[in-house]
Structure formats: structure tokens, C-alpha cells
Chain A
Amino acid sequence: GAVVSQHPSWVICKSGTSVKIECRSLDFQATTMFWYRQFPKQSLMLMATSNEGSKATYEQGVEKDKFLINHASLTLSTLTVTSAHPEDSSFYICSARQTSGSSYEQYFGPGTRLTVT
């Protein structure tokens, strides 16, 4: 149980276009999901906290108009990178926290590799 999927697993887009990444909790409901960004050989940096039915909370320094987050249901959060630039190329990982049961554990998705050309 407690599986989180991400789609796509990798994507290449042209500079100036937008790309959407999906994060799904497959077998549990997640009121809260988190989006992380990981640069090569670096740690995960939390970008934002996604709450079902309300606006996302962004970490300091993260542009909310560039990284649009929507958490429309208890099993799906999306991250849209708008007007992508090469510096947005990164590995994006989401995680989900179960609505019920243990409240302290997050389950991580497999990640999405974004390359902006």
C-alpha cells in the first residue's frame, strides 16, 4: 500500500512552453502533498505544500506564478511549470501524506525529470 505515482517520468519541452506534472496517491487519500525539486548531486528542496481544496503554500524564494500547483482531489496534485526556461530543468519529486492513520510519514513518488531546451 501507500503508493504514489508521478506522470510523466520524464519530459522534454522547449523554452517558453508550459509543462504539467501529475502526482497521484494510488491507494490512499492525501489531504496534503508536497513538491520538491532536486538539482544534480544535491538534496531535495521543498518548493510548496499542496492542500486539497485550498491554495498551495510556497516556500520562500519559490515563484508561485511560475510553479502553479493545483490539488483538486484527495488523490491528485499537479505542478505546472509555466514559461519554462533551461534553468527550470531539474528532477521534481512529490510526496503525499495520508489523511487517516499515521500522520507523520510521507510517501514519495518516483520523480519527474524535466529538461527544458
Chain B
Amino acid sequence: AQSVAQPEDQVNVAEGNPLTVKCTYSVSGNPYLFWYVQYPNRGLQFLLKYITGDNLVKGSYGFEAEFNKSQTSFHLKKPSALVSDSALYFCAVRDTGTYKYIFGTGTRLKVLA
């Protein structure tokens, strides 16, 4: 079965510092990986995806993610965090057969001023 894990419930980072939100995956075959952000009482906003190609994927709002096949990881990163980045972040993998998305448990990012 395909799955994703987000080992951290919460990540705190000071404004201006780099941030990393971790995600590891378990899939059969080539992974289709996604990052979404959710603000309170809102739906999901797409940040970026990895399908194939360069391991470093650049996305919206200055975020990027690095696909690491050997470590089965897809960590989300940003060089300089903003207070407005504070939100809930979800990593997801798409099931290759059914197009269903399997979501991680989410990581709450808190950027401190």
C-alpha cells in the first residue's frame, strides 16, 4: 500500500530563517508527490509537485522540495520563512492505479516574528 509520513506534528521557525517540513513516502513504482498548504477553515492550496525530472522542484510562494529517491523523501523547504507562511502543510502521494491521493497527517508550521 502506498503511504506518506510526516514525522513532525509541528515545526517552529523564526522569521527569516530557512524552514524544512519533512515527508517520506512508500510507493510501488514511480511516485507522484505533492505538497499542499491549508489555512484555517480553507481548502487546500497547491504548492508544488514532483512527477519526473529534476529532483529539486520549485513551487508557489518561494517554496521548493527536494525529491530523494534513495531516502524516499520529499521534504518541503523555503530559504527564508515569513510569518504568513504559518499554516498546515500536507504531503500527498497519488496512487498510480486509481488517481486517489493519500495524504500525510499534516505538519503545522509556526513562523515566529
Residue from B42, B44, B51, B94 whose CB has the most chain A CB atoms within 10 Å? B44
On whether the beta carbons of A113 and B41 are closer than 8 Å, the reply is yes
Task: Contacts A43-B104, A44-B103, A49-B100 given; indicate if A104 touches B44 (C-beta within 8 A).
Answer: no
8 A Cβ contacts from A34-50 to B: 34, 42-44, 46, 49
A47-91 vs B, CB cutoff 8 Å, 1 = contact: the mask equals 001000000000000000000000000000000000000000001
Q: Determine whether the beta carbon of B41 is less than 8 Å from that of A106.
A: no
A117 to chain B, nearest CB (A): 18
CB neighbours of B49 from chain A (8 A): 104-105
Measured CB to CB, the nearest residue on chain B to A59 is B100
Nearest residue in A to B36 (C-beta to C-beta)?
Answer: A108
Count chain B CB atoms within 10 A of each CB in A6, A91, A103, A105 and give the residue with the most. A105
**A44 to B44, alpha carbons, bound, how many Å?**
10
Q: Could you say which residues of chain B place their CB within 8 Å of the CB of A113?
A: 41
Within the complex, the shortest CB–CB distance from B111 to chain A, in Å, comes to 19
Please name all residues of chain A whose beta carbon is closer than 8 Å to the beta carbon of B105 when the two chains form the complex: 42-43
Whether A111 and B101, one on each chain, are in contact in the complex, defined by CB atoms closer than 8 angstroms, is: no
Is B53 interfacial (CB-CB < 8 Å)? no
Within 8 Å CB of B102, what residues of A?
A: 46
> 20 new A-B pairs (CB below 8 Å) besides A43-B104, A104-B51, A108-B36?
A6-B43, A34-B100, A43-B90, A43-B105, A44-B90, A46-B101, A49-B98, A49-B100, A93-B44, A97-B99, A103-B99, A104-B94, A105-B34, A106-B101, A108-B44, A108-B46, A110-B42, A110-B43, A111-B42, A111-B43
